[in-house]
Chain A
Amino acid sequence: MKLSIVTPFGKIYEGEIKEATFPGVEGEFGVLDGHSPLITNLQPGVITIKKENGKEEVIAVNWGYVEVTPDHINVLADGAVPVSGSTESEIAKAIEKAKQLIKDASDSDALVATVASKIESAARNI
């Protein structure tokens, strides 16, 4: 299925994916091909994408909407930072930025800490 993540500052991600997990307001939920149509709000957290080739990618979002249809997913985020990079320092910078994004968006320390640990563990897999 197709996933596209856009923010007011441009497109963050677009492409074919196998599976994705979103931080919905009612809890985390995963989406596979053929999911029933759904629209919900997102809370600060990370979107985990599993690509067709099995590779995982993590994108931190602060707030937004997600619209799921059986063949595509649209994410309208206020801010999003992909945790990726080709060099160590780039990845470190991306992690810093992603953490800052979550920190600014949320006032719950527990949530910030959970998300931060998720970002870090994801970064180890890059």
Chain B
Amino acid sequence: MATLKELKTKINSVKNTQKTTRAMKLVSTAKLKRAEEALLLSRQYAKKIEEVTNEISLKLSSIKESINIRAFSNIKQVKKVDLIVVTADKGLCGGFNHQTIKTTLKKIEELKSQNIKIRLVVVGKKAIEYFRFVGIEMYEAIEGLTSAPNYEKAAELIEKSYNDFVNEEIDNIIIIYNGYVNKLVQKIHVKELLPIEVKKQNETNEFLEVEPTDDYETVLESLVKKYIEYIMYYTLLDSLAGEHSARMQAMDAATNNAKEMVHQLTLQFNKARQEAVTRELIEIVTAIEAMKKK
């Protein structure tokens, strides 16, 4: 049985932890609001650019018989891919980071079983720490970008992969991250970016004109690049919002658990105190009874 003093210190320490977790929850709530706003604003653009690129890929065959843009071509044999993993820089957000890592490991296994080589690009301290710990080789490791998404840096990051794709060094770019659905739900996304699938169209009267006509490749290529860059940026925003919502939830749960624990400990403390009081009384009464006999 723990002594009264021990219990008291324990209760105090749990209460202090509760204060911290509550504060962290409030901070996350505020940050989530900002992240959510940024996400919603950029979602429009992300949706539109996806719509436009898909529409182009649908109508592509009408522009010219053979298209010399690798992003729209059919790649038959995939030999090497870039795997971009995005996690948070900070922990204390429940299973948020671990889910992403677990999915990544699964994907790595899957690709390995198909004899596909992988270049692992890791964004976010938590995943970097993990892969370093288990000794999986990383092609690139980037810290500090997930907590402050920035379009230029995101573009720079994916540009290398995209250039390698154009130069036929890699055959696909896969992004894995944990995204925001709503305040309570996050969802793992595994996105295969390239090539943008050329769907066979049924209607033959669909056509598309690209201006300037003699330079349509530049227009399309720059659009694809923009599309890829924007997806990367959007991924970072989505991941950040997801991180904050996950942390908010985790800290809420922690605060509740701490509350429950304080309750239990207080009960124990009261029991122990009552016991001490009873014991003292018994001692006094026994002493009196003993003296009476004389």
Listed in ascending order, the chain A residues whose CB lies under 8 Å from chain B are: 4, 6-11, 24-26, 36-41, 65, 67, 69, 74, 76
Distance in angstroms between the alpha carbons of A37 and B206 in the assembled complex: 8
Name the residue on A nearest B55 (C-beta): A67
Instruction: For the complex formed, measure the closest distance between the CB of B149 and the CB atoms of chain A, giving whole angstroms.
Output: 11
Asked whether any CB of chain A lies closer than 8 Å to the CB of B134, the reply is no
Distance in angstroms between the alpha carbons of A39 and B233 in the assembled complex: 24
Given A6-B44, A8-B45, A9-B42, A74 contacting B52 (CB threshold 8 A): yes
Which applies to chain A's interface (DSSP): helix, strand, loop or mixed?
strand
Asked whether any CB of chain A lies closer than 8 Å to the CB of B59, the reply is yes
Are the C-beta atoms of A9 and B51 separated by less than 8 Å? no
Count of chain B residues near A, Cβ 8 A: 26
**Cβ contacts under 8 Å, B211 to chain A:** 24-26, 38-40
Q: List 16 A-B contacts (CB under 8 A).
A: A4-B48, A7-B45, A8-B45, A8-B230, A9-B41, A26-B211, A36-B209, A37-B206, A37-B208, A38-B210, A39-B219, A40-B210, A40-B212, A69-B55, A74-B51, A76-B45
Are the C-beta atoms of A76 and B48 separated by less than 8 Å? yes
Asked whether any CB of chain A lies closer than 8 Å to the CB of B130, the reply is no
Distance in angstroms between the alpha carbons of A57 and B268 in the assembled complex: 72
Q: Which of B105-160 touch A at CB < 8 Å?
A: 151
Listed in ascending order, the chain B residues whose CB lies under 8 Å from chain A are: 41-42, 44-45, 48-49, 51-52, 55-56, 59, 151, 206-212, 219-220, 222-223, 226, 230, 233
Given A8-B151, A8-B233, A74 contacting B48 (CB threshold 8 A): yes
Are the C-beta atoms of A76 and B52 separated by less than 8 Å? yes
Instruction: For the complex formed, measure the closest distance between the CB of A7 and the CB atoms of chain B, giving whole angstroms.
Output: 6
Distance in angstroms between the alpha carbons of A37 and B205 in the assembled complex: 11
Are the C-beta atoms of B49 and A76 separated by less than 8 Å? yes
